[in-house]
Structure 1
Amino acid sequence: MAELLNSEQIQSALSELSGWTVEGKTLQCERTFKDFIEAIAFVNRLVDPAERAGHHPDLAISYNRVKISLTTHDAGGLTANDFEMAKVISKIS
């Protein structure tokens, strides 16, 4: 099981990401697209990297917005895996 990060480690890792925030035990980002079709296309581009990493984000889709939440459920909070997945997601357009 992955090791939970402490608050100092979380803040350090967060400083390396743009557009992400920490809410409780989750790392979150919201992306806005032209329309629903583009939002779903973005979600579809998340599938392969998430599968390869074995780390799947929680997603909330509302028309042209996609809210992405990451947490390591097995560990009960944020781990390095969440921040690594956030870096991958940040590169997906």
Structure 2
Amino acid sequence: MIQPTFVFLHALGSSHREWELVCRHLNGAPCIALDLPGFGERVEEGYADVAAMADDLADTIRRHRLTACILVGHSMGGKIATIVAARAAAGEIG
């Protein structure tokens, strides 16, 4: 059985750092906390709209070759996670 990777997405105006404590408390479960385009360590990339952020997340999932993941989002991150999950359910991400 493949252990799913937790993929964490921050709120508007935040960064991957908002998830550091959560990841530490997941007892070694695989975790990836991302900075969305325009935030955190990716601030220099500039603004991205919701669709571009969802595309970026889907690309990240592909790049990491995640075959099982649990998307966790706070506020805006939750919106992006929901869009990508809906795309995956519709077979649009592979």
TM-score by length of 1: 0.31
Task: Give the structure with the higher percent helix.
Answer: 2
